[in-house]
């Protein structure tokens, strides 16, 4: 590596954050821009570790030690070439990926891991600043047409790769704009949507056609789709939310977290000049009770994950009276648990920037009842503390006697994850086989219908943005091989492919 002693000389220093009192009042990104000198020092911490386990931790197989070395040497353009060879959207992963690569970093055995996510973000921002991110237009077209259904990162990655292979690609999205949950589910204070828009400009210049506001399966029937296109890639999300069966669930003021988040994102977009329909969520469903706002309300977020954290940050910006996040599972340990040793993804307590802005967090708490007023509006939650005990070889939840308590609440947001993709409509019309979890069954990305492929959350269930990009790339290679009998596309860690084929 460029500086073999760097990991001994420099402490970890990742993205710096804006002051809490400032950022709570707007929807601008919490993280400050990269610092070139800081990024170089952080890249110097990458060890000459022999076996870079970060490769294994990253679903994309990013060539991490090599781009770190290039950054340390000041060769930023080469660092960008290495990074973009395996990752179509480093600007997404550099902001919202939980960085499984860092959990597998060899330095992380006994020191803070290399700040890979921060370095990745620095590289791509430097590339955009210097005009290195340019459209890759194929020199030759194959004459084959592909429909990609679902405009999230899996669909965007699949469309980009298939277009590079020379196929004519149409990307369909039923929402107002391309981006999926990266646009509608991730708050602007984590990822400003102009970051998506600048990437879409590149994709459009490459020849990819976007069709938004089109509900495939309703506006365009499956039969027509199969007739018109040589291959179809299903990249819709896992959109059916996991609900809770709790007394009082029918009360007004109880919503899936994604409805709350997507409407706020649309509200921000409208304020910034986009013309969007605020009366509907990103799936086109009409809101039950007008605009969802936390202003002046006691808010309870049910679910302790990232989506719940995003609800906390958004509620604080709405100026909620109070914000509480409850989780049914026990509080994780402050450091890596023995059950998840290196290089596995660690089970440990994580505190987000949203939590730093103000939130009452509780673990081992179960919601027993939603309590309403005479008009059918939520006014309180009945909660009880629980403990997990081992019985007959499995963990069982038991209430702690005398711990039941009622808390005022006018808004409850259910952040319990998603079950599977929506089966009604396109999936049913295509007749593709589903697995036992309700996801599209697609071994090697090909479904039970020969010319139909699937990738992303629709195939593997809800997951990370980095997995979505990986899935899109892998599916694109499978489609290319199906159409041409071979493929020069590589999904992981192969920087160069035949120049004449992709027009580089």
Q: Identify the bridge partners of residue 322 per DSSP, sorted by sequence position.
A: 298
Give the pLDDT mean for 205-226: 95
Neighbour count for residue 32 (Cβ, 10 Å): 10
Q: Which pLDDT band holds residue 2 (cuts at 50, 70, 90)? A: confident
Q: What percent of the chain has pLDDT over 70?
A: 94
pLDDT at 503: 35
pLDDT tens digits along 416-449: 999 999 999 999 999 999 999 999 999 999 999 9
Phi then psi dihedrals of residue 328, to 5 deg: -75, -25
* Three-class DSSP category at 366: strand
pLDDT tens digits along 219-271: 999 999 999 999 999 999 999 999 999 999 999 999 999 999 999 999 999 88
Q: Which pLDDT band holds residue 504 (cuts at 50, 70, 90)? A: very low
Q: From the centroid of its chain, how far is CA 230?
A: 29
pLDDT at 283: 56
Give the pLDDT mean for 93-100: 96
**Residue where the block lists tokens 């707007």:** 26
Task: Supply the mean pLDDT for the chain.
Answer: 92
pLDDT at 499: 34
**Residue where the block lists tokens 């400050």:** 32
Helix (H) or strand (E) holding 325: strand 322-327
pLDDT tens digits along 315-359: 999 999 999 999 999 999 999 988 999 999 999 999 999 999 999
Q: Which pLDDT band holds residue 495 (cuts at 50, 70, 90)? A: very low
pLDDT at 278: 54
Is 90 exceeded by the pLDDT of residue 77?
yes
Q: Using CA atoms, how far apart are residues 84 and 486, in angstroms rounded to an integer?
A: 23
Q: From the centroid of its chain, how far is CA 111?
A: 27
What phi-psi label fits residue 426: left (phi over 0), alpha (psi between -120 and 50 degrees) or beta?
alpha
pLDDT tens digits along 274-286: 766 655 555 555 5
Q: Range with the lowest mean pLDDT among 138-142, 242-246, 461-465, 492-496?
A: 492-496
Q: From the centroid of its chain, how far is CA 410?
A: 29
Give the pLDDT mean for 377-384: 98
pLDDT at 491: 55
Half-sphere exposure of 64 (CA within 13 A, CB side): 37
What are the CA-CA distances from residue 217 to residues 47, 144, 161, 197, 438 (Å)? 51, 22, 24, 26, 18
pLDDT at 288: 47
pLDDT tens digits along 49-61: 989 999 889 999 9
**To 10 degrees, what angle do helices 64-72 and 36-44 make?**
130
pLDDT at 289: 45
Neighbour count for residue 453 (Cβ, 10 Å): 28
Is 90 exceeded by the pLDDT of residue 116?
yes
What are the CA-CA distances from residue 49 to residues 2, 3, 56, 221, 464 (Å)? 13, 13, 14, 53, 27
Q: What percent of the chain has pLDDT over 90?
A: 88
């Amino acid at each position: 590596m460029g500086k073999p002693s760097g990991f001994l000389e420099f402490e970890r220093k990742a993205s710096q954050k804006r002051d809490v009192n400032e950022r709570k009042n707007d929807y601008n990104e919490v993280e400050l821009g990269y610092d070139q000198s800081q990024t170089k020092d952080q890249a110097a911490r990458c060890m000459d570790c022999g076996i870079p386990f970060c490769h294994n931790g990253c679903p994309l197989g990013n060539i991490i030690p090599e781009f770190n070395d290039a950054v340390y040497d000041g060769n930023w353009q080469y660092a960008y070439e290495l990074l973009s060879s395996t990752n179509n959207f480093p600007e997404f992963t550099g902001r919202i990926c939980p960085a499984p690569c860092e959990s597998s970093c060899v330095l992380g055995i006994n020191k803070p891991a290399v700040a890979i996510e921060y370095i990745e973000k620095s590289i791509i921002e430097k590339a955009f600043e210097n005009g290195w991110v340019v459209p890759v237009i194929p020199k030759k077209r194959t004459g084959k047409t592909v429909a990609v259904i679902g405009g999230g990162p899996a669909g965007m990655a699949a469309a980009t790769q298939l277009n590079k292979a020379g196929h004519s690609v149409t990307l369909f999205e039923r929402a107002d704009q391309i981006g999926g949950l990266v646009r509608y589910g991730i708050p602007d204070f984590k990822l400003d949507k102009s970051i998506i828009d600048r990437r879409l400009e590149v994709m459009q210049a490459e020849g990819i056609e976007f069709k938004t506001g089109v509900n495939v399966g309703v506006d365009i029937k499956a039969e027509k789709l199969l007739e018109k296109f040589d291959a179809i890639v299903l990249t819709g999300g896992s959109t059916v939310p996991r609900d809770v069966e709790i007394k009082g669930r029918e009360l007004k003021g109880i919503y899936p977290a994604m409805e709350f988040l997507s409407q706020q994102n649309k509200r921000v977009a409208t304020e910034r000049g986009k013309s969007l329909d605020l009366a509907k969520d990103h799936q086109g469903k009409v809101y039950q009770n007008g605009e969802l706002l936390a202003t002046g309300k006691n808010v309870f977020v049910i679910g302790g994950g990232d989506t719940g954290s995003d609800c906390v940050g958004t509620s604080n910006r709405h100026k909620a009276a109070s914000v509480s996040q409850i989780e049914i599972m026990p509080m994780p340990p402050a450091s890596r648990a023995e059950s998840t040793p290196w290089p596995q993804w660690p089970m440990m307590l994580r505190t987000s920037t949203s939590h730093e802005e103000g939130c009452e967090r509780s673990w081992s708490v179960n919601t027993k009842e939603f309590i309403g007023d005479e008009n059918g509006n939520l006014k309180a939650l009945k909660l009880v503390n629980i403990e997990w005990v081992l019985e007959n070889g499995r963990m069982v939840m038991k209430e702690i006697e005398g711990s039941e308590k009622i808390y005022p609440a006018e808004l409850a947001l259910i952040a319990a994850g998603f079950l599977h993709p929506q089966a009604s409509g396109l999936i049913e019309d295509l007749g593709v086989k589903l697995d036992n979890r309700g996801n599209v069954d697609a071994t090697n990305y090909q479904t039970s219908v020969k010319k139909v492929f699937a990738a992303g959350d629709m195939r593997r269930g809800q997951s990370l943005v980095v997995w979505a990009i990986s899935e899109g790339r892998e599916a694109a290679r499978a489609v290319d091989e199906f159409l041409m009998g071979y493929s020069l596309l590589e999904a992981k860690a192969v920087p160069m492919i035949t120049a004449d084929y992709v027009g580089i």
